[in-house]
Amino acid sequence: MLLEQPGPWGAKALTQSRLDPALGRFLESAPETGVRAALIRRPGRDTGRGAARRVLLAHTAPGRSWVRTALTGDPGELRGLDLPALAAGDHGGFGEPHPGGPVALVCTNGRRDRCCAMLGRPLAAELTVAGHDTWETTHIGGHRFSPTMLTLPHGYAWGRMSAATAQHVLAELARGRTVIDGCRGRSAWPRPAQAAELAVRRHETDPRADALEVVDVVGTDGDRTAGERARGRWRVTVARLDGRRHWEVTVTERVSLPASPASCGAAALPQSRMDVLAVRPLLPAPAG
């Protein structure tokens, strides 16, 4: 759920901007329902103060992704949305289908991490000049990979983007295809599943963005996990969306060395990373 909010953003942008604080607190609580909220603004000079705000709603599940858009003169109307239904992929007729190609969201929240401002703003400006549907956005995670970009409707996250690479990514996505270089995974899934899907893409020749889905994530203790906070190993089952092939991917969480800063100006510390240990085709594909 993306709400246009011109003007400055603080480190906790949803409640540290010109947005009504009560609405900001509502948006901060949205993840409890499975919905992620962020603020957006167009690159360039702030000219939207007092105007109607653009709202984008997106669902990023493979084969069921969509983007809906609307203008609102009262952002408080967002509190009337059925967030659990939205998290499940039901937009309830909100707005209109978003026209055209992919949406590029470039993190420029300098109060959260100054690298996002120093590197993200020039990228957003160049993509806008090149004619791409581009928004600056508040924090989207992984700022040590600045400049970062999230693309809709597929929900893929990208890091260390140059203007040329980002334009190539957006051109491919406009054709329904994705690329591996610079991709950090599909945000609909937890981190182990993101790593697993990208690993399978290195074996699978179908470049379509919706070619693959994650059908199961199981911790080494046998418990299913949906959380990025779980430690250890995971067995992730990735399948073609048409069900013709399945893979079992073994993923482990490790500490990345040498130590590096998590953001601009931060102390160098060991960082968590997901490593793929094995990719094993499952033949024949499991029934169902």
Instruction: Select from 140, 174, 208 the last residue of a domain.
Output: 174
Q: What is the mean pLDDT of residues 151-165?
A: 95
Q: Between 231 and 243, whose confidence is greater? A: 243
β-sheet with 212-219: strand ranges across: 212-219, 233-240, 246-261, 268-282
Q: Between 189 and 142, whose confidence is greater? A: 189
Bin 131: left if φ > 0, else alpha if -120 < ψ < 50, else beta.
left
Helix (H) or strand (E) holding 271: strand 268-282
Q: What is the mean pLDDT of residues 210-217?
A: 96
Range of the domain at 57: 2-174
Q: Which residue has the tokens 């949803």?
A: 14
pLDDT, tens digit, for every residue of 84-113? 999 999 999 999 999 978 999 999 988 777
* pTM of this structure: 0.89
| Residues 62 and 148 grouped into a single domain | yes
pLDDT at 26 over 50: yes
| Residues 167 and 31 grouped into a single domain | yes
pLDDT at 269 over 80: no
Q: Between 16 and 230, whose confidence is greater? A: 16
What is the tally of structural domains in the chain? 2
DSSP H helices in the chain: 21-29, 83-87, 114-129, 163-174, 191-201
Q: What is the mean pLDDT of residues 43-68?
A: 86
With CA atoms as reference, report the closest residue to 75 among 55, 94, 95, 60.
55
| Residues 167 and 203 grouped into a single domain | no
| Residues 143 and 33 grouped into a single domain | yes
| Residues 129 and 17 grouped into a single domain | yes
**What's the mean per-residue pLDDT of the chain?**
89
Q: Is residue 162 part of a domain?
A: yes
| Residues 24 and 153 grouped into a single domain | yes
pLDDT confidence of 261, banded at 50, 70, 90? low
Q: Is residue 179 part of a domain?
A: no
**Rounded Cα gap, residues 204 and 245, in angstroms:** 10
- pLDDT recorded at residue 204: 87
| Residues 161 and 210 grouped into a single domain | no
- pLDDT recorded at residue 101: 86
Q: Is residue 138 part of a domain?
A: yes
Q: Between 286 and 249, whose confidence is greater? A: 249
| Residues 208 and 272 grouped into a single domain | yes
- pLDDT recorded at residue 144: 73
List beta partners, residue 235.
Answer: 218, 250
| Residues 164 and 194 grouped into a single domain | no
**Rounded Cα gap, residues 150 and 155, in angstroms:** 6
Q: Is residue 183 part of a domain?
A: no
Of 139-153, 201-215, 260-274, the range with the highest mean pLDDT is 201-215
Helix (H, G, I), strand (E, B) or coil at 22: helix
With CA atoms as reference, report the closest residue to 225 among 274, 191, 184.
191
pLDDT at 236 over 50: yes
Q: Is residue 185 part of a domain?
A: no
| Residues 205 and 69 grouped into a single domain | no
